[in-house]
């Protein structure tokens, strides 16, 4: 089985631009979560999607948004980029809702805002 795939792996954007990151979960997994990882704040939860619906949301401004498609692939979008948005963005998938299972992570997208 292929793992969680995130594209692109690296991205450089200018302050004020917007960016879209993509995540393809493991086949059969219906839940996708997004995390932001920075040296100062560690791993912070952004949001989770299950069956195309946002189920949980972390404490991030509205500039951060996401969606999930019928094939479970997910995208997250950050509008009006700020320097502080530079981070590693990790996507994780889990098989189903309501189950205390582990999350399977992708290799992340390293976003640099200049």
Partner 1 sequence: AQTVTQSQPEMSVQEAETVTLSCTYDTSESDYYLFWYKQPPSRQMILVIRQEAYKQQNATENRFSVNFQKAAKSFSLKISDSQLGDAAMYFCAYRRGNNDMRFGAGTRLTVKP
Span 8-47, contacts to partner 1 by CB under 8 A: 33, 35, 42-43, 45
Q: Considering only residues 2, 14, 98, 114, which one is a binding residue for partner 1 as defined by CB under 8 A?
A: 98
With CB under 8 A as the rule, give the number of residues binding partner 1.
25
Nearer to partner 1, 7 or 80 (CB): 7
Helix, strand, coil percent content, the chain, rounded in steps of 5: 5, 55, 45
60: contact with partner 1 by CB under 8 A = no
Length of the chain: 114
d(CA 74, CA 83): 24
d(CA 9, CA 67): 19
| Shortest Å, Cβ 8 to partner 1 | 14
């Amino acid at each position: 089985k292929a793992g969680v795939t995130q594209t692109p792996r690296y991205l450089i954007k200018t302050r004020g631009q917007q960016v879209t990151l993509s995540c393809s979960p493991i086949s059969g997994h219906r839940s996708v979560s997004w995390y932001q990882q920075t040296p100062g704040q560690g791993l912070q939860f952004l949001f989770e999607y299950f069956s195309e619906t946002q189920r949980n949301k972390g404490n991030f401004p509205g500039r951060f948004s996401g969606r999930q498609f019928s094939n479970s692939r997910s995208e997250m979008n950050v509008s009006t980029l700020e320097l502080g948005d530079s981070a590693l963005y990790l996507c994780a998938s889990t098989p189903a809702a309501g189950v205390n299972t582990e999350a399977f992570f992708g290799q992340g997208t390293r976003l640099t805002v200049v």
